[in-house]
Amino acid sequence: MSAGGKNYNKDYYGGALMILLGGSAAYAAQSYNIGSLAHMGPGYFPFAVGILLALTGVLIALNAKKTGPGDEAALVGHKHEIPDFRGAACIILGTIAFYFCGEYLGLLPATFAIVFICALGDRSNSVMACFVLAMSMMIVAVVIFWWALQVQMPLVRWGM
Amino acid sequence: MGQALQDLWYGFGIAFQGHNLMWSFFGVLVGNLIGVLPGMGALSAISILLPLTYTMHPVPAILMLAGIFYGSQYGGAIGAILLNLPSHPPHAVTCLDGYPMTKKGKGGTALGITMICSFFAASVGIIVMIFASPLLTTIAFKFGPAELFSIMLLGLLAGSTMSRGSPLKGVAMTLFGLLCGIVGTDVNSGTFRFAFDIPDLSDGLEMVAVAMGLFGIADFLLNVNKMKAITSNTKMRIRDMRPSMAELKEAFWPMVRGTAVGTLFGAMPGTGPTITTFIAYALEQKVAKDPSRFGTGMIAGVAAPEASAHSKTQVDFIPTMSLGIPGDAVMALLLGALLIQGIQPGPQLITEHPDIFWGLIASFWIGNVILMILNVPLIGVWVKMLAVPYKYLFPSAMFFIAVGVFTTQNSLFHIWEVLAFGIIGAVLMVLDFSVAPIMLGFVLGPMMEENFRRALLLSRGDMMVFMQRPISATFVCISLFLLAAVTWSAWRKRSGVSKVAQAIAQETSDAGVVVAK
């Protein structure tokens, strides 16, 4: 990332996101009975926090204009770019696969699924390497989690 | 004084009995091993091994559980420093500077500093526990809802201005964390809030899932295919974990200050260890000559929070044991273990079961020594973990996260939570937000709302209640002062020092390139 121009955009997006989050939280909180200061309902605190968050969002967006290029980047130090698509997609898919395999097939298939799919996300990994890694993690799963820690998930099951 | 020493001597006698010592050692070892696994904190370690104690004699049982507790706490610091995976939320702060240190190849030093700090802080905590219990208990009784709310307000403000980047964004993240903390059933009215009609959310979001998502998965999402190994410096030996004299000097005052913060907060029931570490870190940042260097691998940023966490932990046993009020979930579990053994914690515990109370205190000391001895050889093993190429490390870590999150409640639903927070964390980090304050807001949110409502109920809606009570007013004033200082420095920064800022930007991006290589 080079130009400060991008930081402007980032703060606009960031501010907008906060306004959206705070606004919708406050909106949702209105349906929970707000009550009065002396007798607060369940909606009072979320409503107040939501409004504050939206206000902060406005301030962030306003500040984006005033901050000179480079200033913000200097303070944040470690900057993050848009994630690598293949890697991120594989990590997300692997986690989802863990859920479904864990629910319907048991610990071993779930272990294999998450490790194998996540490993495929790294462009330098071969399919064979992913397979070996997933296999060795299955051994870890059996020894540490199933045998030693007695995790409450059967190794293999079928259906519910 | 003399009486206390005599009692302590008696306690050492108990703790040194063969089988007690053995169980204590076993607890520390197992706790340490489990604590290192991402996602498995003290809470999961104790809950897994709790059934084992049902058949045991109460003294070894409680000694073992306490051993697991601080063993896993130390293990959690290892995960936070070396892998940026806080398995126990208080370590989220340690990640901020510990992980950059690892990236610089100084992971061994960071672990060494942590070890020294935790030992020092635990020792101070133990001494305080022995001599100051009665005093601390009287102070703790003075804390009403107004005081608790004000101290949390201060903690939140200190925590959010501590985050790097603009304080505004830190405040925004804290508020977002507060909203996350609201999810679930409202304790007063039973209303479902922000639960999207999902019954699994009625108990609120799982703390471990939020932490692992924000710090673990989010980090993997951003770094995949961009990082080869966490550190290129693979030639780390035991010698490297011994910090140099200069580094020790750098760590000394932060360590003392962190210990003081932890001791102070330990006595107040309801203030968990997370807020303690955040305040210790924020304090270091305020004291430091050059606050902007925090987050790039400052020793003080590791020493202070770790010291505060460990002294807080020790002192936390005072309200747990003498009042029967647990400071956090782990203490509640230990309390439960005592109750299972048929022992009622409370003021009479010390007189009725001196073997447990003093044996426990003595075993803390012994346990911390065991922890030190154990970790000197083990540290080489932990550090080796870093030499594992990233392409093997992150899929394995994903598996540990998934299983760890599952075991917290034996519910696969938490997998969705950890994934959601991973994605949220990644999006926020791309937008230059720092995610650590979310954790603080999330942990404090429910307590803060509770005390806010209670305080205003008692005062019949009069906001002045926070200013009328002296302790509360002090905290509110410090908060206001903090707010003013931050606003002023931000305003000043905007109107003149951008050259300096650019120089820093240049430096950090250079450093970033070096690390990436």
**Tens of each residue's pLDDT in chain B, 517 residues:** 566 677 778 778 877 777 888 888 888 888 887 777 665 667 667 766 776 776 778 788 888 888 888 788 888 888 788 777 766 667 777 888 888 887 777 777 888 888 888 888 888 888 877 776 666 566 666 777 787 788 778 777 776 765 556 778 888 888 998 888 888 877 777 777 887 777 777 777 877 788 778 877 887 888 777 766 655 454 555 556 667 777 777 778 888 888 888 887 776 655 667 777 878 888 887 777 777 777 777 788 888 888 888 888 777 777 677 666 665 667 767 777 777 777 776 666 767 777 777 777 788 888 888 888 887 777 777 767 666 777 887 888 888 888 888 877 788 888 898 899 999 988 888 888 877 778 778 877 787 888 888 888 888 877 777 888 887 888 888 888 877 877 776 666 555 444 444 444 444 444 443 333 3
Question: How near does any CA of chain A get to the CA of B192, in Å?
Answer: 8
- A72 shares its domain with A89: no
* DSSP 8-state secondary structure symbol assigned to residue A81: -
Q: Rounded distance, CA B210 to CA B205, Å?
A: 7
> What is d(CA B21, CA B306) in angstroms, rounded to the nearest whole number?
26
B407 touches chain A (CB under 8 A): yes
Beta carbon pairs, A and B, within 8 Å: 248
Give the total number of structural domains in chain A.
2
Q: Which pLDDT value is given to residue B33?
A: 79
- Report the residue from A17, A37, A84 with minimal CB separation from B456: A37
pLDDT over 50 at A5, yes or no: no
**Chain A residue with the nearest C-alpha to that of B450:** A45
Q: Write out the E strands in B349-391.
A: none
Which residue in chain B has the smallest CA separation from A101?
A: B412
Rounded-to-integer distance, Cα B67 and Cα B50, Å: 12
pLDDT the model gives residue B423: 92
Q: What is the pLDDT of residue B244?
A: 74
**Chain B residues in contact with A87 (beta carbon < 8 A):** 221, 224-225
pLDDT of amino acid B502: 45
Which structural domain, as residue segments, surrounds residue A61? 5-76
Q: Does some domain include residue A104?
A: yes
Residues of chain B with Cβ-Cβ distance to A122 below 8 Å are 224-225, 390-391, 394-395
Shared-domain flag, residues A91 and A144: yes
Task: Give the pLDDT score at A80.
Answer: 64
d(CA B166, CA A72): 7
Interface of B with A in 423-462 (CB under 8 A): 423, 426-434, 449, 452-453, 456-457, 460-461
Question: Does A48 share its domain with A111?
Answer: no
Residue A107 maps to a domain:
yes
State whether A13 and B292 contact (CB < 8 Å).
no
Asked which of A44, A76, A108 is the last residue of a domain, the reply is: A76
Contact at CB, B175 and A53, closer than 8 angstroms: yes
Quick one: B457 exposed, middle or buried, by C-beta within 10 A (0-12, 13-18, 19+)? middle
Euclidean distance between CA atoms B90 and B277, whole angstroms: 6
Q: Between B18-36 and B354-387, two packed helices, what is the crossing angle to 10 degrees?
A: 40
**B406 and A60 in contact by Cβ < 8 A?**
no
pLDDT value of residue B192: 78
Search chain B and give the residue with CA nearest A51.
Answer: B175
Domain boundary among A59, A76, A93: A76
- Average pLDDT of every residue of chain A: 79
**A58 and A104 share one domain:** no
Q: Are residues A58 and A100 in the same domain?
A: no
pTM: 0.72
Task: End-to-end CA distance of chain B: give it in Å, rounded.
Answer: 58
By the CB < 8 Å criterion, does B29 face chain A? Answer: no
In this structure, the answer to whether residues A72 and A90 fall within a common structural domain is no
ipTM: 0.86
**Which of A53, A76, A99 corresponds to the end of one domain?**
A76
CA distance B79 to B72: 10
In a domain, A159, yes or no: no
Q: A134 lies in a domain?
A: yes
Task: Kindly state whether residue A102 falls inside one of the protein's structural domains.
Answer: yes
Domain boundaries, chain B: 2-516
- Would you call B358 helix, strand, or coil by DSSP? helix
pLDDT (0 to 100) of residue B137? 60
Q: A41 CA to chain B: closest CA distance, Å?
A: 8
Out of A78-92, A93-107, B343-357, the most confident range is: A93-107
Same domain? For A67 and A123 the reply is no
**Is the CB of A81 less than 8 angstroms away from the CB of B430?**
yes
